[in-house]
Amino acid sequence: KLKTVNLKLWKIEDDIRDCERKRNFKDKFIKLARAVYFTNDDRSRIKNKINSLTKSNISEVKSYKKY
């Protein structure tokens, strides 16, 4: 699952940079920009689950405002 969500994030990031390069800030850009944080939230849940299952002492803690 983590690999899948990472691949999705990389694709989103590539696509949003393509929009930036083309100066296309319309609907596609907005959709991609929103997808970044939705997908990062999915990634965070997966990583937290992995940490819980493995009883890892290493964790990445980030805090953002709710949307």
Q: What is the pLDDT of residues 31-67, one digit of tens each?
A: 999 999 999 999 999 999 999 999 988 877 777 788 8
- Dihedral in degrees, nearest 10, Cα atoms 22, 25, 29, 33: 120
Contact, 67 vs 37, CB < 8 A? yes
In a domain, 60, yes or no: no
Q: Say whether pLDDT at 5 is over 90.
A: yes
In a domain, 39, yes or no: yes
In a domain, 21, yes or no: yes
In a domain, 67, yes or no: no
The amino acid at 29: F
> What's the predicted TM-score (pTM) here?
0.81
User: Count of CB atoms within 10 A of residue 14's CB?
Assistant: 10
Contacts of 59 (CB under 8 A, 6+ apart): 48, 51
Q: How many domains does the chain have?
A: 1
17 lies in which domain range? 2-54
In a domain, 30, yes or no: yes
Residue 64 or residue 1, greater confidence: 1
Mean per-residue pLDDT for 3-19?
98
